[in-house]
Structure 1
Amino acid sequence: MPTPNRRRPFRLYAVTAGVALALLAAWWFTGRNDDAAGAYRTAPVERGDVRVVISATGTLRATTTVDVGSQVSGQVLEVLADYNDEVTRGQAIARLDPAPFQTRLEQAEADLASARASVNEARAGVTNAEADYNRKRELVERQLIARSEADLARAARDQARARVVSAEASVRQRQAAVGNARLDVDYTVIRSPVDGVVLLRDIEPGQTVAASFQTPVLFQIAQDLAQMQIDLSVDEADVGQIREGLPVSFTVDAYPDRQFSGEVRQVRLAATATSNVITYPVVVQVQNADLSLLPGMTANAEIVVNRREGVLHVPNAALRYTPPGAATARPARMGRPPGGGAGRPAGQGGGRPGGNNRTLWVLEDGKPTAVSVEIGVSDGTTTEVSGVQEGQQVIVGQERPGE
């Protein structure tokens, strides 16, 4: 049976080994935690511009586009303008067959001549009736005939005068008919109402134009392609930030490396509902002096609703980061008591930052330190801040222990 003195060294060895393992484990986990705590991802506080923009797409079109039709029906005799032709106001661009309308004009002119002859005949009747009445009035005064005969002569005179008035009215009616027929003859020549460029020609020689119930569109003319506009569709959530005069930048697929500019001219009230999404039309005025932009192009536009120049800004990730276990930590420097809540929405707060307090974590001597800042506008990636210094490193994240 072993003696107590021989068991004592084994116990001593076991205790010593346990203490060593405990110290080794403590050193291991402490070192790992220190490494994890020190592996912060940072970004510098930078100075620059922060732009708040609203993105939208739309279609380019001429500021004024005129649909040209025909006021009379008939067969197209000749077409005098084609696609892309430049036309001037009053220029003939097509002709209809004028023969039927010329015939109606001649008939109306003949009716007018007949009406004028009727006027002359009525006036001759008035002269005769007045002479007859004057003779019979003298005979009545001399008591040579009955007064009734004089009354009948006066009535005949008045009827003759009425026939003159009726004949003159008929002349005016025939004159109007002649004018109408002459207008129809003039309307057989289709003329451009404006100076511009022909965008559409929907007419061919020999085609019959029927303008009885609805005026057909034969030509479409853009008045001035140097002045164009974009019809943007803006979501109802963003339309409240848009006002007239805001700058707009846009690109088109035809020139992907070129940036164009414009200006908001009008925010229209005619809302459109598409798949339960409400949008409002926003009209952007565009200068197209070199005529590089064409009607119908799709424009990818950005409306600059707010712009802050030369301000301090940090990545938005820095405003979302909080070190583990630091939920109750108070900022080291306080501009004012921290307000709850998120920063100012993009596009709101055109003045100086204020009223939106957030907490940033900066590295000081390798340790995270809370700093209270005031935030301003945000472009979705960076946010304007005050309360920190340019170049100061703010924490935007933390590496995992295995990284």
Structure 2
Amino acid sequence: MRQAPSRRSKRPFPRALVAAVAVVAVAAAAFAWWRGARSEGAESAWRTVAVERGDIRVAISATGTLSATSTVTVGSQISGQVTQVLVDFNDRVTSGQVLARIDPSTYEAQIEQGNAQIASARAQLEQAQATLRNAELDYRRKAELVERQLVARSDVDLARAALEQARAQVASAQAQIRQQTASTQTTRVNLDRTVIRSPVDGVVLTRSIEPGQTVAASLQAPELFTIAEDLSKMRIELAVDEADIGQVQAGQQVTFTADAFPDRQFRGVVDQVRLAATTTNNVVTYPVVVSVDNSDGTLLPGLTVNAEIEVSNRKDVLKVSNAALRYKPVGDAPAPAAAAGRGGAGMLEDLRRIADGLDLDAGQRAAFDAALEAQRKRAEAMRQGAGQGQSRGPGGPPPGMMVVGGGTPPANVQAQIRQRMLERMKENFADFTRLLDESQRKAWDAALASSLSATRATIYRLRNGQREAVQVRVGASDGTSTEISGPVEAGDEIITGERARR
């Protein structure tokens, strides 16, 4: 008989322990959910962009027309019928080459007539000279006889008058010869002008005459041909708006396209900014001449081009989206300012950068450091005074600096403030500038004036979930991003807007 196996008794699991584990699990899940929701809410409360390092290219757009660098209009100084036209459109010509001929028969006949008149005048001269010789002999004979009282003195007077008349006739005949010779020479010049020659080497752009056509040059020289002297060098005359002309300077690079060659981009250089403004429908534009290399002969005179003048090309700079410069807190208290110790900020940092570029010796560096420290203390004292309700001085943002997005004083007030600030800075750093040589002093003064007139803006950086105000110096902008400098670094999150709170 098989014995049944013995059954072990099981201990029941304590209910208290199960309840404790369940409570801990629920609390941990709740805490994790709360922390994630809080983190998500903090991150989503702001819209931000990162400060980037890159390039900013600023360009001005304009339209214009291509033309040859030197274009010569060939006309006719005489009237007549065209007998020959020896060149056509696009023909290459050399200096002195015959382009056309005008009927010369009229001028040839005038030359023959002039030669005959000259011959007649010479015959009259010979006759007058013979009369002169006879008058001279008659006068000498009578002058000798009057001494012996063989002739009356009145006869001598008559002989002298006849001699003078003969001399006058000779002079008149000589003048007539010169006159006829000059007239004939003028006719010869006009005869030479019946042959139209090219004044330069180039290409015929236009031809406005045909054989058999009559040219009338009574009032002005008619235009017969237009010759482009050298199509390997061309130019563009751009019409630049008055709002942009202040940024255009000779030597700036230009890129342009033409509808005839949509897949190609051409380059040129600003050669001249002309002062002759043009007003069309109350829009003022200035002509800007751009020189273009056309060695391959691709570009054609008269093409309309769309050009961009590169007025600034900043390489490897800090930049931020323009939306960050437009953002201003609404309804909240102003955010605390960023600490100035991070890399230096504002005017003091600008002064340090200026001094670093002057190649200072030990004595000059010591004087600069002392002046900079004194300036820092003055600024700190002004900030403390402003915090206690006293009148604000130059300790905060430099006076006169325009703040993007905020109210600005009128232009004349800004200029006065900047001038006073410049004078104060020169006075504060007088001991330092006395140690500079002439070139260093000029560089310091120019950089200081540029820094004081710079545009500054307040942006808001997100750090550790908190918003803080940072003042930066604003540079070039390409319409999307703007160059900034100051207490910011690449990667900093800058606020561009606030999300709606749920």
User: What interval of TM-score do these two structures reach, taking the shorter chain for normalisation?
Assistant: 0.7 to 0.9
User: TM (normalized to structure 2)?
Assistant: 0.68
Q: Which residue does 1:357 correspond to in 2?
A: 456
Change in CA separation of 1:32 and 1:77 when aligned onto 2, cut-off 3 Å: farther
Cα shift readout 1:362-402 (whole Å, capped 9, x = no counterpart)? 34345544433222222222111122212333333455579
Q: Which residue does 1:185 correspond to in 2?
A: 191
Counterpart Cα distance in 1 of 2:80 and 2:169 = 40
Higher relative contact order (CA 8 A, sep 6+): 1
1:341 paired to 2:403: yes
Secondary structure of 1:84's aligned partner: coil
2:493 to 393, 396, 403: 393
Secondary structure of 1:278's aligned partner: strand
1:297 paired to 2:303: yes
Cα shift readout 1:171-208 (whole Å, capped 9, x = no counterpart)? 11001111111111111111111111111100001111
User: How far did 1:166 drift?
Assistant: 0.8
1:226 paired to 2:226: no
Secondary structure of 1:152's aligned partner: helix
Counterpart Cα distance in 1 of 2:227 and 2:454 = 54
Counterpart Cα distance in 1 of 2:119 and 2:332 = 106
Q: Is the 8 A contact 1:42 1:394 kept in 2?
A: yes
Secondary structure of 1:237's aligned partner: coil
1:373 paired to 2:472: yes
Change in CA separation of 1:113 and 1:73 when aligned onto 2, cut-off 3 Å: same
Counterpart Cα distance in 1 of 2:320 and 2:476 = 11
Q: Is the 8 A contact 1:50 1:377 kept in 2?
A: yes
Q: Is the 8 A contact 2:43 2:465 kept in 1?
A: no
Q: Is the 8 A contact 1:139 1:145 kept in 2?
A: yes
Counterpart Cα distance in 2 of 1:179 and 1:186 = 11
Deviates more, 1:301-310 or 1:204-213: 301-310
Identity of aligned residues (%): 57
Say what the alpha-carbon RMSD is for the aligned residues. Answer: 2.8
Q: Which residue does 1:274 correspond to in 2?
A: 280
User: What amino acid does structure 2 have at the position aligned with 1:252?
Assistant: A
2:156 to 150, 160, 164: 150
Secondary structure of 2:247's aligned partner: coil
Change in CA separation of 1:353 and 1:289 when aligned onto 2, cut-off 3 Å: farther
Structure 2 counterparts to residues 48-127 of structure 1, below 5 A: 48-127=54-133
1:237 paired to 2:282: no
User: How far did 1:322 drift?
Assistant: 3.4
Q: Is the 8 A contact 1:359 1:372 kept in 2?
A: yes
Q: Is the 8 A contact 1:354 1:376 kept in 2?
A: no
Counterpart Cα distance in 1 of 2:451 and 2:57 = 14
Counterpart Cα distance in 2 of 1:73 and 1:85 = 25
User: TM (normalized to structure 1)?
Assistant: 0.84
Q: Is the 8 A contact 1:353 1:376 kept in 2?
A: no
Secondary structure of 2:243's aligned partner: helix
Change in CA separation of 1:276 and 1:36 when aligned onto 2, cut-off 3 Å: farther
Deviates more, 1:135-144 or 1:311-320: 135-144
Q: Is the 8 A contact 2:404 2:458 kept in 1?
A: no
User: What amino acid does structure 1 have at the position aligned with 2:229?
Assistant: Q
Cα shift readout 1:19-48 (whole Å, capped 9, x = no counterpart)? xxxxxxxx99xx799649616443332222
1:254 to 260, 277, 281: 260
Counterpart Cα distance in 2 of 1:36 and 1:324 = 18
Larger strand share, 1 or 2: 1
Q: Is the 8 A contact 1:36 1:400 kept in 2?
A: no
Cα shift readout 1:115-164 (whole Å, capped 9, x = no counterpart)? 12211111111111111111222222222111111111111111111111
1:201 paired to 2:207: yes
1:316 to 309, 314, 322: 322
User: What amino acid does structure 2 have at the position aligned with 1:220?
Assistant: T
Change in CA separation of 1:237 and 1:107 when aligned onto 2, cut-off 3 Å: same
Counterpart Cα distance in 1 of 2:282 and 2:75 = 37
Larger helix share, 1 or 2: 2
Cα shift readout 1:326-372 (whole Å, capped 9, x = no counterpart)? 462233335343565228xxxxx996798433232334345544433
Q: Which residue does 1:16 correspond to in 2?
A: none
Residues matched between the structures, number: 370
